[in-house]
Structure 1
Amino acid sequence: MPNYWLMKSEPDAFSIDDLEQLQHSPWDGVRNYQARNFMQAMNEGDLVFFYHSSCVPTGITGVAKVSKKAYPDYTSWDKSSRYFDPKSTPESPRWYMVDIEFIEKWSSIITLSELKNDPELATMLLTKKGNRLSIMPVTESEWTYISTTLRGKTK
């Protein structure tokens, strides 16, 4: 059985359309320890809600899957990268990334407002006040509810 995740990206940096065009991409640049730890717990085949953040509206735009387990994020060693971290080295990496693969772009976004206002999702990490993590786990029941019941309402 796969695990389920939600991964946020600003669409002007990397969107579901970008992933659809590429079909496969590393998920680099994560610089939050809790999000990194979640990424390290991911396995190949885990399913991911692709979430657009810092835009109007924010929300779930599609589905991807993890195609490669966590490995050192080499952008942290590249001095020309905006993700450079002088404390991370190839010998002692601080940051990791996974590869994801495009599965599906949804025709309608499920907005953060819809998610927050649904009593079935009251305990979901995303809907809790102050949660700004870019990567977070999703329970199987949350995954099923969002991808069937809520998605059915937006089609």
Structure 2
Amino acid sequence: MKSEPDAYSWDDLEAAGEGVWDGVRNHAAKNNLAAMEVGDQAFFYHSNIAREIVGIMEVSEAGLRDPTDKDGKWAAVRIIPRTRLPAAVTLKSIKAADDELGEMQLVKQSRLSVSEVTKAEWSKILSMAGI
């Protein structure tokens, strides 16, 4: 799940203790949000400025309607911070791991604010982060 750190950062989520992932206005990203269930984990990716995965968050409430959407057609989830990664995993390093991560939605569909991560991709990212 991507956010520009100057708009909403990992530090903001940690300080608040929980947040609502809203404002998504892309159908593929909305479908990814709508598929999430309580207990699912997601990477927190700082986009644009830093371009790096910095933490792991968990879905604490799923199936929400986006509170910023007056028409009620967009999805949202409530999230809580779980773990700041010991080492941030940069987009550059993800792209360099082409054999294992070259097909990630983060790489292939870089404009998606909420993208799917396979189990193999998840494990590789954790390894790159020092977990």
TM interval, short-chain normalised: over 0.9
**Runs of 4+ with deviation above 6 angstroms:** none
Of 52, 69, 74, the match for 1:59: 52
In structure 2, what is the equivalent of residue 33 of structure 1? 27
**Alpha-carbon distance in 1 for matches of 2:15, 2:66:** 22
Q: Does 1:140 align with 2:119?
A: yes
Q: Secondary structure at the match of 1:138?
A: coil
**Alpha-carbon distance in 1 for matches of 2:36, 2:27:** 15
1:74 Cα shift? 2.1
Q: TM-score scaled by structure 1?
A: 0.79
Aligned-residue Cα RMSD (Å) equals 1.4
Count how many residue pairs are aligned between Structure 1 and Structure 2: 130
Of 95, 98, 109, the match for 1:116: 95
In structure 1, what is the equivalent of residue 13 of structure 2? 19
Q: Which string of whole-angstrom CA distances, capped at 9 and with x for unpartnered residues, describes residues 32-79 of structure 1?
A: 111111100000000100000010x311001001111121112112xx
Q: TM-score scaled by structure 2?
A: 0.93
In structure 1, what is the equivalent of residue 129 of structure 2? 151
Higher relative contact order (CA 8 A, sep 6+): 1
Q: Secondary structure at the match of 1:74?
A: coil
Q: How does 1:69-148 map to 2 (within 5 A)?
A: 69-77=62-70, 88=71, 93-118=72-97, 119-128=99-108, 130-147=109-126
Stretches of structure 2 that go unaligned for 5 or more consecutive residues are: none
Stretches of structure 1 that go unaligned for 5 or more consecutive residues are: 1-6, 78-87
Q: Which has the larger radius of gyration?
A: 1
Identity, % of aligned positions: 42
